[in-house]
Amino acid sequence: MHLKGTEILLKVLEEEKVDILFGYPGGAVLDIYDQIFKSNLKHILVRHEQGAVHAADGYARATGRVGVCLVTSGPGATNAVTGIATANMDSIPLVVFTGQVPTGLIGNDAFQECDITGITRPCTKHNFLVRNVEELASTIKEAFHIARSGRPGPVLVDLPKNVMAASTDYDPEKVTFRNYETPYKPAPKKMAHVLDLLHRAKRPLIMTGGGVILGHAAAELTHLARKYEIPVTGTLMGLGSFPGSDPLWLGMLGMHGTYYANMAISHCDLMLAVGVRFDDRVTGTIETFAPDAKIVHIDIDPSSINKNVTVDLPIIGDAQSVLKDLLRFLEEHHYEQEAESRQVWIAEIEQWRKKVPLTYCQNSEVIKPQFVIETLYRITQGDALITTEVGQNQMWTAQFFHFNQPNSFISSGGLGTMGFGLPAALGVKCAFPDRLVVDIAGDGSIQMNIQELATAAQYNLAAKVVLLNNGYLGMVRQWQELFYEKRYSHTDMTYAPDFVKLAEAFGVVGLRATKPDEVERTLREGLSIDRPVLMDFRVSREECVYPMVHPGESITQMALGTREMIN
Amino acid sequence: MEKKTHIFSILVHNKPDVLARIAGALGGKGYNIDSLCVNTTTQNDISKIVMTTAGSSAIINRIINQLQRLVDVISVDDLTNVESVHREMLMVRLNLTPQNTEAIKKAIEMNKWKVLLSGDTYTIVEITGDKTQIDFSLARLEPLGIVDITRTGLIALKLED
């Protein structure tokens, strides 16, 4: 087949089973958009390129498939960078197509030219500048392969205008690319080591992370924990990889983790850490992190091993293969936990859970943000796909919504990108039009990509925004309260739009609740409307997220809010 | 922790920006490259990079891991503790004046330096050796009136696989 570059692009997208593209046109991608016009490919026109990448990212996190977006050269590409860096930090598979000026003009400071492969080199898994049409098909195929294989990540493909207009012979059979994947080989010696550690352990603990979700290993991890009665805590990215309603679940650990999860970390004598990278928000001071534990670290990326925490037994491999290998090994060797010591350990954790449960002070006059999330959980029974913005809204969601399924909590963990939640929710809604999709937002974050309400309205993407509106950049204000003697330097956001009117101006339903007794009614109404809805909850202004480990301290040193510090 | 110089022999796909990726992967994490030598191998599409860098063993491990994460990196070999031969090359241009010509000729003869090119007012000497030999030669050349020098990074080859 003799095809134009633009035709090859759409052909390969079809072969890669791409069913949706999030994008924004411009000069350098006019030819591609003309081809899209002639095709059946579903395209969502966002209102800002950052929104396109976050939407593709949300789609990828919810489906486990590669998210795809298309933006123009220059500012289109630079606008996408925050989205790309967000996906890179959380290892989300994306293919981002950027337009580029014709190859003859590259380096001339042409109109809307920028060196986007240079700019994104540190924040992509890999990137390509396609120099001629002959290498177009194999480069795109390779980009998809790199994005989804091994530790996933975003791959950028820069497409010069003349390359897309040129034509060449295209034969899908002949497209070849290198394979980078090194499949996991069973490691009986390491498994024997784990078995030995399990035999010796009196207080084992599983720490689950984003790698378990990305590696489709939630079922294996759940089986391991339940079969051998091992309590489980998780990182933010790990939420949903073990059922949040299971009695063995201790909630999130770390800076805003539960008291009992952090106490369990500090007292465990064996930690099975799966698909985690021991972020500083999780560990607190490294020296006091799991001081008594032998640490087994299962991760696909060798560069994660011994990066922050020195571990006793590293096992390199994808979480599913390693856990399957481990489960088989334990079964073959008839491993059984010592019931008595396990019960003592679990009882000890239950004491901590009783001593400091995850809670907040209810108020009959003012809406507590935690109450909104609790009510949302209660009336949906957890059957929803939740995205968040970044800050207090994100932490309260992690604490008070219980995630029973993997790929149901969608949040910018590593980079902490404000403005993520709304466009991500639209991407999720595109993937699952029949599921309930809710963005739990703050008034600061939502304003960073508020323009995407227009996208929601245009395509009737009936995602819901639950806005916890406290008129502050809440998390920064919390730090100012705790560490800067309440000098609220530029965190007061009282000067804000009327979000209900704003929603209506965009063609989105706007609802408001100002009193606790209006919360449930507002939520029920908002969720029942088959249109995008923004619900503005006027919540107590100076609520803090507790528990909180102060930065630079041990995770057992937790501020518990109205309670006293507990050591 | 004790810092030690390591020599890496890195095979990479010969792509336009592969060097930028390697430099970026290390520079972006705060690691320094002390010397660098890049050229194609017997296969035109594969290049070998010989790089020296210093760090504690933990840092060196991280550098290896960071390099291995790069899609265009085929293999990373640490030659530090294996038997290998090392060479650098130095070219030096010296100014010839009536006062120093004799001394320069004598030094070239004594040290068996190779003269690459000579004119009425200059001579260019080539010296190959390991780092110590080069440093030593440079010290001897210094008093003779160096105008310009250029020095390659280290290249190294293992004795056996």
Q: Give me the interface pTM, i.e. the ipTM.
A: 0.89
- Could you confirm whether A401 is annotated as catalytic? no
pLDDT of amino acid A313:
97
Instruction: Provide the residue count of chain A.
Output: 567
Dihedrals φ, ψ of B124, to 5°?
-115, 125
Residue of B nearest to A127 (CA): B71
Q: How many Cα atoms sit within 13 Å of A189 on the Cβ side? A: 3
Whether A397 contacts A466, CB under 8 Å? no
| Dihedral sign for Cα atoms in the order B97, B100, B102, B106 | negative
Nearest to A151 by CA among B27, B68, B60, B21: B68
Rounded distance between C-alpha atoms, residue B113 and residue A380, angstroms: 84
> What would the pLDDT profile of B3-31 be if each residue is shown by its tens digit?
899 999 999 999 989 999 999 999 888 89
pLDDT of amino acid B51:
96
Whether A444 contacts A473, CB under 8 Å? yes
> What would the pLDDT profile of B34-45 be if each residue is shown by its tens digit?
999 999 999 999
> What would the pLDDT profile of B54-86 be if each residue is shown by its tens digit?
999 889 999 999 999 999 999 999 999 899 999
Residues in A closer than 8 angstroms to B21, CB to CB, are 121
Could you tell me if B75 lies within 8 Å of chain A, comparing CB atoms?
A: no
| Tens digit of each residue's pLDDT, chain A (567 residues) | 899 999 999 999 999 999 999 999 999 999 999 999 999 999 999 999 999 999 999 999 999 999 999 999 999 999 999 999 999 999 999 999 999 999 999 999 999 999 999 999 999 999 999 999 999 999 999 999 999 999 999 999 999 999 999 999 998 888 777 767 778 888 999 999 999 999 999 999 999 999 999 999 999 999 999 999 999 999 999 999 999 999 999 999 999 999 999 999 999 999 999 999 999 889 988 889 999 999 999 999 998 988 889 999 999 999 999 999 999 999 999 999 999 999 999 999 999 999 999 999 988 999 999 999 999 999 999 999 999 999 999 999 999 999 999 999 999 999 999 999 999 999 999 999 999 999 999 999 999 999 999 999 999 999 999 999 999 999 999 999 999 999 999 999 999 999 999 999 999 999 999 999 999 999 999 999 999 999 999 999 999 999 999 888 888 888 887 654 343
- Could you tell me where the beta strands, DSSP code E, fall in A351-492? 385-388, 409-410, 437-442, 464-469
Could you tell me if A125 lies within 8 Å of chain B, comparing CB atoms?
A: yes
Rounded distance between C-alpha atoms, residue A419 and residue A452, angstroms: 10
Could you tell me if B34 lies within 8 Å of chain A, comparing CB atoms?
A: no
Could you tell me if A179 lies within 8 Å of chain B, comparing CB atoms?
A: no
Amino acid at A112: Q
Proportion of chain B above pLDDT 90, given as a percent:
86
Q: How far is B24 from chain A (nearest CA, A)?
A: 7
Convert A79-147 into a string of H (helix), E (strand) and C (coil): HHHHHHHHHHHCCCCEEEEEEECCHHHCCCCCCCCCCHHHHHHHHCCEEEECCCHHHHHHHHHHHHHHH
Q: What b/e sequence results for A100-129 when a residue is b if at least 16 CB atoms lie within 10 Å of its CB, and e otherwise?
A: bbbbeebeeebebbbebbebbbebbbbbbb
Which among B24, B58, B72 has CB closest to A122? B24
The residues pairing with B59 across neighbouring beta strands, listed in sequence order, are none
pLDDT of amino acid B1:
65
Could you tell me if B28 lies within 8 Å of chain A, comparing CB atoms?
A: yes
Q: Do B71 and A122 lie within an 8 Å CB cutoff?
A: no
Whether A201 contacts A270, CB under 8 Å? yes
Whether A453 contacts A526, CB under 8 Å? no
Rounded distance between C-alpha atoms, residue B131 and residue B138, angstroms: 10
pLDDT of amino acid A306:
87
Could you tell me if A306 lies within 8 Å of chain B, comparing CB atoms?
A: yes
- Could you confirm whether A111 is annotated as catalytic? yes
Q: Do A303 and B17 lie within an 8 Å CB cutoff?
A: no
Whether B156 contacts B37, CB under 8 Å? no
Could you tell me if B19 lies within 8 Å of chain A, comparing CB atoms?
A: no
Alpha helices in A271-409 (DSSP H): 280-283, 319-332, 339-355, 369-380, 392-400
Interface test with B, best of A121, A135, A299, A300 (most B CBs within 10 A): A121
Q: Do B21 and A180 lie within an 8 Å CB cutoff?
A: no
- Could you tell me where the beta strands, DSSP code E, fall in B24-131? 35-40, 46-55, 73-78, 84-95, 114-118, 122-129
Q: Do A301 and B58 lie within an 8 Å CB cutoff?
A: no
Q: Do B62 and A122 lie within an 8 Å CB cutoff?
A: no
Which among B28, B61, B71 has CB closest to A146? B71
Q: How many other CB atoms are there within 10 angstroms of residue A429's CB atom?
A: 29
Whether A457 contacts A507, CB under 8 Å? yes
Per-residue CA distances from A129 to A11, A86, A136, A160, A320 (Å): 19, 21, 10, 8, 34
Residue whose token pair is 């009959």: A364
